Structure 1
């Protein structure tokens, strides 16, 4: 866009006028007619144009002048076209781009069938004196927005602060309101419905992003009703690269979006609110006074996406419920979706997170398909806190989301769900699963209240409880961190004591959080209804740790089941532990007695949780007699022993109506003059690193013993012999081979050591990137010991092990990767003994264009107009084929219409609108009518079924007509009469998108088929040749053009919207881009008519030159280039 540079004096003058609009025009519309007519009444379009630039407006009549106040007038001679005196506003006479002008309406104006171009700082208020609202109706108006904010090619082009209030805006083919330069704008009291695109769309530009905008307000009469529109209710798209120094400060509050009255489902066909690369948009009221109702929409309630979408806030809204927060009114997809790298992975330190709720300002997110959906690579640093997910406004009634409360998808990282601060946890209940993570890492799930979900509270893929593994070497979401194991719970009225173990990586710190529950999952795994407390533990050299904690907790919070999670220092959180019922575990102190032969009396204490009922001690031995059980103490006597050593028990039986259990108190009585030995513990598990340990041996005084190891790697280091009770110490050497066992015997008792495998494994390389076309590869495996065995296992059906699937010692694993036909990039793994090899495959390989022999490579090919002949060189074998098919005036239209993987020779005949297709299978042809004279053929696979669809773009109406091969016809407005249609799957969903290039300003406009959103950017000029294609091999079409004047190719990467340029060709060449080497990446290439030579700059094998064609031939790969 052209920029103006003014002298300093003029700049200051402009700033003074901008800051201090001394004059302000008031324009009162009294005519419902459309357009501009020189009569005695004032129409809306006349008022808007006069307010836009009064000094440039045509002369006005007396009647029109009488509808305008606050204006300095200049009398002019009568105009021959109008009767009566004629007037014109003086320059800066109170109206125009330097003044704030107000447009009102008389009671007689009801409905206006017209669109409006609204000037800078001008304000429309449709509330009439009688309290009703003016209707702005787009029926019959054409392919245009209802109200468009105008921009100006001058110093103040990015400071529009126009306002629109109290109108009903409906039935426009495009958006209700479209604002490209909105700053300080207000949209309030509007009812916007039935429009073909968005309700309100705010667009960032190359110069500026929308800022300081308010949509709605704290008062009821400021509420907007935005429903039933063809795409999004509200769409805000910011530039990802310019004007990003300060937050946008856009507020969206107190609106009904997707419902006309807070109870009726009138959903927008797309998302309720769509944010792309925005920063500093607040949805809801940061003060907590008002909320949006975002419900009933046919996609997501709120969608936030883009690698530069950060610092957005969503506070206090009802998302998926009615206005009471008690009834279901769900959005069809997710309540909130965070996608496409939303967050701040690129600049993790300085960018603030997206906040979905915060203490005191949480959202209700219920009755949707998913509650919150977080997915895609690098979607990171999003904080989800203090929300009610799956419940009503009271948090106590079932309004569950159909699937998961929160889904954390593959590629996501560093997101925070809940938190450690007061009130930061979410309440997540009545969903399928509470939180499901099917990928990603460093996603923390802290202090949330999870209960009454159908399946697990926290589920790390694969679906279901993932069992703990020794050494915690498995991989997956959050590293599939092991969960704690609770071994004992003592719950009393005011406190709870919890003991247990945890096993993971050695010498690392972990936070264990504990929760009370009233029920658990049928699998035995718990949820986490009430947070009880936390402790921090550090594992030892073999990865083990114990915990023994006590927290102040009312028994009503502890409930009947206690669970725990673990979170490592990198913020990976585990699944919930198995639930431990407070009444299922009872401890006796002491647990056993070594009794003398002479007989006697003793006792033990029964420790049990409160409310678990009484107990009954029963002796199982005739020589043991229970004498009392009052106050939690069991007293007993044992008779003298005149024979051999003997064993007896007292069973303490418990039955509280839910659990029946018992605990035995063991009594070992010595023989007269004999020795008996008890060992505790009797076994130990030791990690591969080895280390020290000990066990105790109990006996009576005078009884001797010797400790003996049966393995050289298990060394007795202390207490190798003794008399009476003692302790045996030992040391286990490091293990570099497979798992092994050994024993120490002492006093006739056996202590067993099981040592983990010491085999270590490393992979080189550890990952591989492949195009959507698939391929094969290998990686090497190195082990610490030649006896270390391993098995390579593919975790995906599309990755196959072809060699080295099993072995011992070092080896090589070979694999193949299938073609990706899913439409999206995907990641898979091969696991080898706890090590992971990662395969990253780009999205669906965009079919190589103009591939007539089906080998996945573009073929050199020409159309000879004077003979109607097609010639192509088969890349598969170098042979030539030729067909006579068509005439010189036909439009080339070669795509794969039959879905056999080969491009079919085809053309469209403008004179008749007929399509002719020569089947690649058998060289027979078929024809059918579709289109009219003046149309532009744009065949492509729009429905994603692998077959090309006949399609035309009609410039006269900017309408696309698509005959879907899967059935039906799509008719869609997109573009303007002077636009040029372009081909491509720009969002990588295996469907071609509607897209145009606008020569007037060098802009590209794309309507993504994946979600209906529109993307626009400026890239190139009118004289450049458009050559969009997948040059980077990520499965998405990149914007690209070739500049004849310099021979430069410019390619805008779809991955990150950065661009690069390549010099290739001269001004007289014709660009013929395609994938000539079949590697899934398009190659910059040209055809030189002067010598009929093709120059192919292949991405994998360098430049090739091919002579093919004759003077006057048209290279087929240039078919889509005007």
Structure 2
């Protein structure tokens, strides 16, 4: 156990110990080396704190398969006050197969290069919680490293942060990046619950140049439930063939309270240079991406493919919510045979959206023109008006449905009323998501006269349904599940009544019937099947 020492500073704790007035005494402050285990540097009280600063190379090194050695509550790169830089070259190096080491509640600021790096194959299962990297000990002002954290060289299974406030790390105020994840084989690392670009409150910007970069063929890392806001450039960059990484439930632009606007200086999320199969959000795990000084999400070059953008709340960015380059809204092409970023996936077209006040539900249908439409996913959002383009942004996620083999789709859900705007995205069966489509204004459902004009009964039904429209001819009857899957269609009846005996074809549940008459009227009605 090593507590209450100065490793590198002079006796005042305010400057480095030197020989001859100008040479630092030692290369590294502390080394845990060669399978060392169960040693502790520092502790949970101020009296146990070490000052590990002013060293020529590393403040502290893990090397040689050492494990279970906590580093807790130290100042590494700052002086004894916690306010001024007293730099090591790098604060902590975790290398050489070192594993299962907890790094807790340290100030890792003021270093020339990195606050900490965790690198190489075999360097697994290390944890970082409660640390400050780039700010003073109070978490209020900047004491920058070049970069906060590097995870690279094939390291895996490390956890940065956690699910509670006490596990939160702060990566802010650094000259370049808050966090860098790099290199082939660097996989399965978790970045969770941290503040990246803000002060300790999560409400004031203390910018890094950029928030998180995920680069150089690293894959299958997860960035979840962080605040990534206030940075001078982008929030998150995916670059150089980074693939299959997951970005969920983050505030990218808002503060920790979800409403304070501290947007990043350019784009919220950039996907570029061959990055593929990455997931930005999900059904129930979407990010909030707002207040950027450019677009919310940018997908930039022709080799960047199959990236899924799903379930996010995207709003009040200066430019487009989702921009699939070239910049600005793309034009759908017939058959969707063109190539480009994310396959230049065509966006869906909304044909009709009607709100029924009786059951507080909205019914939307439309089409998707793409090479393989069957099972392509359509996601619906409320939209906010934009003064420059009429494509999104999608502020509130409403839900999803899928297309049939002809590209037709239907959505039945709640969360919107007449007069509001909606927009949608399409995601191909290979995972490429489109831009937001053109906004569409929801109208009130059919008038009371029209609703009475067409009868659908019995409701609930058990094995048959009867539809009657006196004075008009039925042209089309379609029945859908509530998630948009078409289960029945009859066309060209040219009669004012129709009976459908479905027997055991339908399971118990809620269904939607769409009725088109020969004079162009549309009725949508919900009915229950009880078995």
TM-score by length of 1: 0.37
Q: CA deviation at 1:185?
A: 1.4
Equivalent residue runs for 1:89-168 within 5 Å: 102-103=1-2, 137-139=16-18, 140-142=22-24, 144-149=26-31, 151=33, 157-165=34-42, 166-168=49-51
What SS is found at the alignment partner of 2:175?
A: coil
- The 1:511–1:150 alpha-carbon spacing in structure 2 relative to 1, beyond 3 Å, is closer
In the alignment, which residue of structure 1 is the partner of 2:415? Answer: 553
In the alignment, which residue of structure 2 is the partner of 1:195? Answer: 87
Q: CA deviation at 1:448?
A: 0.7
For 1:1063-1122, what per-residue CA distance to the aligned partner results, in whole angstroms no more than 9, with x for missing partners?
xxxxxxxxxxxxxxxxxxxxxxxxxxxxxxxxxxxxxxxxxxxxxxxxxxxxxxxxxxxx
Counterpart CA distance in 2 for 1:510 and 1:412 is 21
In the alignment, which residue of structure 2 is the partner of 1:415? Answer: 278
In the alignment, which residue of structure 2 is the partner of 1:429? Answer: 290
Q: CA deviation at 1:480?
A: 0.7
Counterpart CA distance in 2 for 1:250 and 1:321 is 24
Q: Is the counterpart of residue 380 in structure 1 residue 243 in structure 2?
A: yes
In the alignment, which residue of structure 2 is the partner of 1:326? Answer: 203
- The 1:110–1:212 alpha-carbon spacing in structure 2 relative to 1, beyond 3 Å, is closer
Q: CA deviation at 1:113?
A: 5.0
In the alignment, which residue of structure 2 is the partner of 1:466? Answer: 330
Counterpart CA distance in 1 for 2:239 and 2:395 is 26
Q: Is the counterpart of residue 238 in structure 1 residue 115 in structure 2?
A: no
In the alignment, which residue of structure 1 is the partner of 2:482? Answer: none
Pick from 348, 353, 362: which aligns with 1:496? 362
Q: Is the counterpart of residue 389 in structure 1 residue 252 in structure 2?
A: yes
Counterpart CA distance in 2 for 1:565 and 1:110 is 57
- The 1:104–1:517 alpha-carbon spacing in structure 2 relative to 1, beyond 3 Å, is closer
What SS is found at the alignment partner of 1:491?
A: strand
For 1:523-575, what per-residue CA distance to the aligned partner results, in whole angstroms no more than 9, with x for missing partners?
101121111121111233xxxx22233213354xx882100111111111111
Instruction: Answer yes or no: is the 8 Å Cα contact 2:2–2:41 preserved in 1.
Output: no
Q: CA deviation at 1:236?
A: 1.1
Q: Is the counterpart of residue 573 in structure 1 residue 430 in structure 2?
A: no
Q: CA deviation at 1:103?
A: 4.6
In the alignment, which residue of structure 2 is the partner of 1:295? Answer: 172
Q: CA deviation at 1:147?
A: 1.8
Counterpart CA distance in 2 for 1:524 and 1:104 is 61
Q: CA deviation at 1:588?
A: 7.2
Q: CA deviation at 1:286?
A: 4.3
- 5+ long unaligned stretches in structure 1: 1-101, 115-131, 152-156, 217-222, 344-352, 590-602, 608-630, 634-679, 681-694, 699-724, 726-1122
Q: CA deviation at 1:486?
A: 1.0
In the alignment, which residue of structure 2 is the partner of 1:342? Answer: 218
What SS is found at the alignment partner of 1:266?
A: coil
Counterpart CA distance in 1 for 2:28 and 2:199 is 29
Pick from 54, 59, 68: which aligns with 1:184? 68
Counterpart CA distance in 2 for 1:143 and 1:103 is 20
For 1:8-37, what per-residue CA distance to the aligned partner results, in whole angstroms no more than 9, with x for missing partners?
xxxxxxxxxxxxxxxxxxxxxxxxxxxxxx
Counterpart CA distance in 2 for 1:566 and 1:313 is 28
Counterpart CA distance in 2 for 1:560 and 1:133 is 65
Equivalent residue runs for 1:920-959 within 5 Å: none
Equivalent residue runs for 1:615-626 within 5 Å: none
Counterpart CA distance in 2 for 1:203 and 1:370 is 29
Counterpart CA distance in 1 for 2:271 and 2:53 is 38
In the alignment, which residue of structure 1 is the partner of 2:102? Answer: 214
Pick from 454, 477, 495: which aligns with 2:341? 477
What SS is found at the alignment partner of 1:376?
A: coil
Counterpart CA distance in 1 for 2:364 and 2:182 is 43
Counterpart CA distance in 1 for 2:217 and 2:160 is 20
Q: Is the counterpart of residue 310 in structure 1 residue 187 in structure 2?
A: yes
Instruction: Answer yes or no: is the 8 Å Cα contact 2:24–2:54 preserved in 1.
Output: no
Q: CA deviation at 1:112?
A: 6.3
For 1:455-489, what per-residue CA distance to the aligned partner results, in whole angstroms no more than 9, with x for missing partners?
11111111111110011011111101100011222
- The 1:554–1:113 alpha-carbon spacing in structure 2 relative to 1, beyond 3 Å, is closer
Counterpart CA distance in 2 for 1:172 and 1:231 is 12
What SS is found at the alignment partner of 2:90?
A: coil
Q: CA deviation at 1:111?
A: 8.3
Instruction: Answer yes or no: is the 8 Å Cα contact 2:142–2:173 preserved in 1.
Output: yes
Q: Is the counterpart of residue 355 in structure 1 residue 208 in structure 2?
A: no
Equivalent residue runs for 1:606-685 within 5 Å: none
What SS is found at the alignment partner of 1:453?
A: coil
Instruction: Answer yes or no: is the 8 Å Cα contact 1:521–1:527 preserved in 2.
Output: no
For 1:319-344, what per-residue CA distance to the aligned partner results, in whole angstroms no more than 9, with x for missing partners?
10111111011111x2111000111x
Counterpart CA distance in 2 for 1:112 and 1:159 is 22
Counterpart CA distance in 2 for 1:187 and 1:104 is 10
What SS is found at the alignment partner of 1:191?
A: coil
Higher Rg: 1
Q: CA deviation at 1:137?
A: 3.3
Q: CA deviation at 1:173?
A: 2.4
Runs of 4 or more off by more than 4 Å in structure 1?
109-114, 132-136, 286-289, 586-589
- 5+ long unaligned stretches in structure 2: 43-48, 78-85, 455-475, 477-490, 495-517, 519-531
For 1:215-265, what per-residue CA distance to the aligned partner results, in whole angstroms no more than 9, with x for missing partners?
11xxxxxx21111111011111113xxx47xxx221111111100121101
Q: Is the counterpart of residue 535 in structure 1 residue 401 in structure 2?
A: yes
- The 1:189–1:553 alpha-carbon spacing in structure 2 relative to 1, beyond 3 Å, is same
Counterpart CA distance in 2 for 1:405 and 1:549 is 29
Instruction: Answer yes or no: is the 8 Å Cα contact 1:518–1:559 preserved in 2.
Output: no
Counterpart CA distance in 2 for 1:405 and 1:178 is 34
In the alignment, which residue of structure 1 is the partner of 2:422? Answer: 562
Mean alpha-carbon deviation: is it higher for 281-290 or for 251-260? 281-290
Q: CA deviation at 1:163?
A: 2.6
For 1:133-159, what per-residue CA distance to the aligned partner results, in whole angstroms no more than 9, with x for missing partners?
9779344453743324264xxxxx334
Counterpart CA distance in 2 for 1:363 and 1:192 is 24
Counterpart CA distance in 2 for 1:183 and 1:396 is 41
Q: Is the counterpart of residue 370 in structure 1 residue 234 in structure 2?
A: yes
- The 1:169–1:442 alpha-carbon spacing in structure 2 relative to 1, beyond 3 Å, is same
Equivalent residue runs for 1:746-761 within 5 Å: none
What SS is found at the alignment partner of 1:227?
A: coil
Counterpart CA distance in 2 for 1:307 and 1:452 is 36
- The 1:170–1:281 alpha-carbon spacing in structure 2 relative to 1, beyond 3 Å, is same
In the alignment, which residue of structure 1 is the partner of 2:148? Answer: 272
Instruction: Answer yes or no: is the 8 Å Cα contact 2:366–2:408 preserved in 1.
Output: yes
What SS is found at the alignment partner of 2:377?
A: strand
Cα RMSD of the aligned pairs, angstroms, is 3.0
Pick from 357, 366, 371: which aligns with 1:505? 371
In the alignment, which residue of structure 2 is the partner of 1:173? Answer: 56
Instruction: Answer yes or no: is the 8 Å Cα contact 2:3–2:50 preserved in 1.
Output: no
- The 1:498–1:264 alpha-carbon spacing in structure 2 relative to 1, beyond 3 Å, is same
Equivalent residue runs for 1:4-15 within 5 Å: none
Q: Is the counterpart of residue 226 in structure 1 residue 115 in structure 2?
A: no
**Greater RCO (CA < 8 Å, at least 6 residues apart):** 2
Counterpart CA distance in 1 for 2:356 and 2:445 is 14
- The 1:413–1:524 alpha-carbon spacing in structure 2 relative to 1, beyond 3 Å, is same
What SS is found at the alignment partner of 1:538?
A: coil
